[in-house]
Amino acid sequence: MKNQQPNRSPRPERRLDAQLPPDSLAYSLACAATLVESVLAGGNLNDAFETALAQHPGWSDATRGAVRDLAWGSLRDYGRGDAVLRQLLHKPLPEAIHALLLVALHRLESRPEQAHTVVNQAVDAAEALLPPLKGVVNGVLRNRLRNQSVLDAELRADQAAYYRHPAWWVERLRASYPAAWEAALAAGNERPPMALRVNRLRGSVDAYAAELAAAGHAFRRLANDALVLEKPLAMAALPGFAEGRVSVQDAGAQWAARWLDLAPGQRVLDACAAPGGKSAHILETAPVALWSLELDAVRSRRIMDNFARLGLAAEVRTVDCRHVARWWDGRPFERILADVPCSASGVARRHPDIKWLRRADDIARFAAQQAEILDALWPTLAPGGKLLYVTCSVFDEENTQQIERFCARHADAQRLPLDGMPARQLLPATDHDGFYYALLAKRS
């Protein structure tokens, strides 16, 4: 798989609608394969999916969901699917067919009771994509089914295939979390949970929980009042979503506003704010004067759109937070949220292309950028103020080691406990994604 190219042009659209029934599994397999093909070439999965949605405005909710589920699932399982194809293929195939086989293999594993249908529908999809190779697709998939037990035994020796993560990723987690690494990897292969955050400015958590229960939506209420749904819902189907009474936000991310130790009237900075969930949660928690910074103009627009739906207001600026002279007015902040760019290794089940496009040496690059941000923001924090450092990473170099290096550089930085612990590393789990939190105070 090639390195990701952020500015890569979308791949030419394939007109599958005239060749396959849009409500068929074959159609969903073929469309999902085009998304996977884009990632195999170094593209971004979310961007590819947004392009597909724009090209197919008539997709039903069922088709949209099926294509997304197949593409995301195939890339979560890429390590296994790629290993199977290395065993079964004698020469490389065109990317479109290679991607289709990855999608079909994922479907065979997730729905083994549908094996006959999956093979037949994958052959139909191949005929629409590259007709001369439909026989190859049929042969590879049937060979997989005939030799499944033998192939599975061989795959157990391949770390990337067995754990569905790159081998370097597995080794880093094994070294950092000797008691929890396998559970974290397993959770990273699951479909992510859907968690809700109630806008307390427009209603109580108790009242919204009762409303969910009355509507027949089962959920779990966590210690930070996140509501984790047993079954995901379309956002439009959430009671009160359009009215700004509730937002979708991972439960692990909902600790940020709590651990910032907010109070009315404080001057607060969210330095890397898009898409605005944590900024919104800050404003829902306390009446503070908030500045939200974001480097990208499109993502800044999303922050403002979120604020508009929720009935919130803040100073939103499109700027690189490291260039302090371009945005800071010289008045110190009493609280800073530094939710810095990172490897996103803790949220890879939501963005499974990350696992396979990321490289081991990328982590040092992220760590260097994080250090630049921390060093730039620290002078803007008031004496006695607090900075909450956050990543959605599970790698020590971006987390514990980053904070240790920062404190070594800044004698006026004091680490504060979070719920009695020096820092909080949340690994991917059933209820939440992976996050790291560390709270620092500036000595007066």
| Model confidence pLDDT, tens digit, residues 288-322 | 999 999 999 999 999 999 999 999 999 999 999 99
Q: Are residues 207 and 97 in the same domain?
A: no
The DSSP code for 239 is: T
Check pLDDT > 60 for residue 3.
Answer: no
> CA–CA separation, 49 vs 41, rounded Å?
15
Q: Are residues 271 and 417 in the same domain?
A: yes
User: In CATH, what number is assigned to the domain containing residue 278?
Assistant: 3.40.50.150
Structure confidence by residue, pLDDT tens digits, 69-120 = 999 999 999 999 999 999 999 899 999 999 999 999 999 999 999 999 999 9
- Number of domains within the chain: 3
Query: What local confidence, expressed as pLDDT, does residue 365 receive?
Result: 98
Q: Are residues 45 and 146 in the same domain?
A: yes
Residue 11 lies in a domain: no
Q: Are residues 143 and 229 in the same domain?
A: no
**Residues present in the chain in total:** 444
Residue 8 lies in a domain: no
Query: What local confidence, expressed as pLDDT, does residue 5 receive?
Result: 41
Q: Are residues 372 and 421 in the same domain?
A: yes
Query: What local confidence, expressed as pLDDT, does residue 9 receive?
Result: 38
- Return the CA Rg of the chain: 23
Q: Are residues 258 and 387 in the same domain?
A: yes
Which of 163, 181, 206 lies at the terminal end of a domain, its last residue?
163
Residue 135 lies in a domain: yes
Query: What local confidence, expressed as pLDDT, does residue 17 receive?
Result: 79
Which of 248, 283, 317 lies at the terminal end of a domain, its last residue?
248
Residue 71 lies in a domain: yes
Q: How confident is the model at residue 7 (pLDDT cuts 50, 70, 90)?
A: very low
Query: What local confidence, expressed as pLDDT, does residue 14 receive?
Result: 61
Which of 321, 342, 392, 407 does the annotation list as catalytic? 392
392 is catalytic: yes
Residue 169 lies in a domain: no
Query: What local confidence, expressed as pLDDT, does residue 2 receive?
Result: 59
Q: Are residues 266 and 386 in the same domain?
A: yes
Q: Are residues 118 and 144 in the same domain?
A: yes
Residue 98 lies in a domain: yes
Q: Quick one: average pLDDT of 198-219?
A: 97
Q: What's the whole-number average pLDDT of the chain?
A: 95
How many CB atoms within 10 Å of residue 46? Answer: 12
Q: Are residues 233 and 264 in the same domain?
A: no
Query: What local confidence, expressed as pLDDT, does residue 10 receive?
Result: 42
Structure confidence by residue, pLDDT tens digits, 116-163 = 999 999 999 999 999 999 999 999 999 999 999 999 999 999 999 999
Give backbone dihedrals phi and psi of 226, rounded to 5 degrees, phi first.
-65, 140
Query: What local confidence, expressed as pLDDT, does residue 16 receive?
Result: 85
Q: Are residues 159 and 138 in the same domain?
A: yes
Q: Are residues 233 and 303 in the same domain?
A: no
Structure confidence by residue, pLDDT tens digits, 259-290 = 999 999 999 999 999 999 999 999 999 999 99
> CA–CA separation, 121 vs 82, rounded Å?
20
Q: Quick one: average pLDDT of 188-192?
A: 96
Bridge partners (DSSP) listed for residue 437: 390, 424
User: In CATH, what number is assigned to the domain containing residue 155?
Assistant: 1.10.940.10
Which of 205, 231, 248 lies at the terminal end of a domain, its last residue?
248
Which residue, among 400, 407, 440, has the nearest Cα to 424 in the 3D structure? 400
Q: Quick one: average pLDDT of 377-395?
A: 98
Residue 396 lies in a domain: yes
Residue 19 lies in a domain: no
Q: Are residues 83 and 230 in the same domain?
A: no
The pTM for the full model equals: 0.93
- Say what percent of the chain tops pLDDT 70: 97
Query: What local confidence, expressed as pLDDT, does residue 47 receive?
Result: 95
The parent domain of residue 209 ranges over 194-248
> CA–CA separation, 440 vs 350, rounded Å?
29
Structure token digits, residue 223: 């210690």
Query: What local confidence, expressed as pLDDT, does residue 103 receive?
Result: 98
Which residue, among 104, 111, 164, has the nearest Cα to 139 in the 3D structure? 104
> CA–CA separation, 51 vs 382, rounded Å?
44
Q: Are 375 and 381 spatial neighbours (Cβ–Cβ below 8 Å)?
A: no
Residue 167: in which H helix or E strand, if any?
Answer: helix 167-176
Check pLDDT > 80 for residue 18.
Answer: no
